[in-house]
C-alpha cells in the first residue's frame, strides 16, 4: 500500500513538472516580439534608429524583450525617454521622445546640438533636422562643463528665450549668434545682409528693442541695404557700414 501511494505521488509530481514546463514554454513563445513600429523620430529617421538597435529585419526584433528594447533606445544620445507597448500579436509600438534642442554649436569645426538643459550632444551622421540658430566663436575650444555652465552660453540662452517669447517669426529669423569669444555679441538674420550688434549687457531688453524696430520699419526701409544695426548704446540705435562700427 505504501509503495502504491509513493508511485502515485511520484507520477503526480512528474505530470506536474511536465505541465509547468509546457506552460512556461508556451508563455515564452508567446512573448517573442515579432515586429516593431517607431514613432517620434525627428532628429533621425526610423531606419537610423533601427540600425542603432541592430534591427535590420523583422526577425531581429525577436532577440529583445520589452525591457531590453526600451533600454537600447534609451542609450541613444538623442533620446530622452521611450515608451514601449506590445499588442496581442506581439507587435511592439515604440514612442521615442527625443531631447529638446535650442541651437547648434560650432566648436573646433564640429557641430553639436545644444539641448534645453544646456548640454552638448555631437551631431550624428544623417541627422535630419538642424533648423536651429548656430552658436559660434565660444572662448573655449573644447566641449567642457565650463562651456555648458559658462556666461557665454547663458547669454545665448537669454537671447533665444527672449526671441521665442516674441513670436515664431522673429525666432525663425535668427540664423547665427556670434559670441565673439566673450566680446560684443552679434546676431545674423536670415534674408538680410545686416548684422545686429547687441553687446554684452541687457540682452533681453535689446531683443525687445530689435523686435519693435523690425515691426516699425516694416517694408519702408530695406535692412538688406544696411551693413549693421548697433544696439549697444542706451536710448540710441545706429545703422551704418561695418567700417564705422569697427567690426
Taking all residues of the chain, what is their mean pLDDT, rounded to a whole number?
82
Q: Torsions phi, psi of 96, nearest 5?
A: -95, 125
16-20, 92-96, 203-207: least confidently modelled range: 16-20
What does the alpha-carbon distance between residue 62 and residue 158 come to, in Å, rounded to a whole number? 47
Sequence-separated (6 or more) residues with CB below 8 Å from residue 127: 43, 44, 113
9-18, 39-48, 110-119: least confidently modelled range: 9-18
Packing angle of the helix pair 203-217, 151-165 (nearest 10 deg): 40
Buried-exposed string 84-106: b where 16+ CB fall within 10 A, e elsewhere: bebeeeeebebebebbebbbbbe
For residue 12, what pLDDT is reported? 54
Count Cβ atoms within 10 A of the Cβ of residue 168 and give its class: 0-12 exposed, 13-18 middle, 19 or more buried. Answer: exposed
The average pLDDT across 94-115 equals 94
How many percent of the chain have pLDDT more than 90? 50
Q: Torsions phi, psi of 127, nearest 5?
A: -65, 135
Q: What is the DSSP letter of 136?
A: E
What does the alpha-carbon distance between residue 154 and residue 147 come to, in Å, rounded to a whole number? 10
Domains of the chain and any CATH numbers = 33-98 (3.10.20.310), 101-245 (3.40.50)
- Paired with 238 in beta bridges are 230
What does the alpha-carbon distance between residue 114 and residue 211 come to, in Å, rounded to a whole number? 24
What does the alpha-carbon distance between residue 94 and residue 67 come to, in Å, rounded to a whole number? 12
Q: Torsions phi, psi of 67, nearest 5?
A: -70, -40
The average pLDDT across 21-49 equals 74
Amino acid at each position: 500500500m505504501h509503495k502504491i501511494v509513493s508511485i502515485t505521488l511520484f507520477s503526480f509530481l512528474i505530470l506536474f513538472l511536465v505541465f509547468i514546463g509546457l506552460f512556461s514554454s508556451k508563455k515564452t513563445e508567446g512573448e517573442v516580439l515579432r515586429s516593431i513600429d517607431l514613432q517620434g523620430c525627428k532628429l533621425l529617421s526610423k531606419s537610423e534608429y533601427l540600425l542603432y538597435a541592430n534591427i535590420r529585419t523583422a526577425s531581429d526584433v525577436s532577440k529583445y524583450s520589452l525591457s531590453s528594447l526600451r533600454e537600447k533606445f534609451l542609450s541613444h544620445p538623442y533620446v530622452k525617454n521611450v515608451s514601449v507597448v506590445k499588442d496581442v500579436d506581439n507587435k511592439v509600438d515604440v514612442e521615442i521622445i527625443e531631447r529638446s534642442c535650442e541651437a547648434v554649436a560650432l566648436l573646433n569645426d564640429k557641430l553639436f546640438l545644444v539641448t534645453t538643459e544646456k548640454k552638448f550632444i555631437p551631431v550624428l551622421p544623417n541627422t535630419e533636422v538642424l533648423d536651429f540658430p548656430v552658436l559660434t566663436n565660444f572662448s573655449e575650444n573644447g566641449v567642457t562643463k565650463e562651456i555648458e555652465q559658462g556666461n557665454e552660453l547663458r547669454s545665448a540662452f537669454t537671447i533665444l528665450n527672449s526671441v521665442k517669447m516674441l513670436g515664431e517669426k522673429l525666432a525663425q529669423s535668427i540664423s547665427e549668434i556670434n559670441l565673439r569669444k566673450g566680446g560684443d555679441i552679434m546676431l545674423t538674420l536670415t534674408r538680410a545682409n545686416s548684422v545686429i550688434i547687441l553687446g554684452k549687457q541687457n540682452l533681453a531688453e535689446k531683443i525687445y528693442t530689435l523686435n519693435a524696430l523690425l515691426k516699425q520699419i516694416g517694408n519702408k526701409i530695406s535692412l538688406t541695404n544696411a551693413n549693421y544695426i548697433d544696439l549697444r548704446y542706451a536710448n540710441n540705435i545706429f545703422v551704418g557700414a561695418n567700417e564705422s562700427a569697427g567690426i
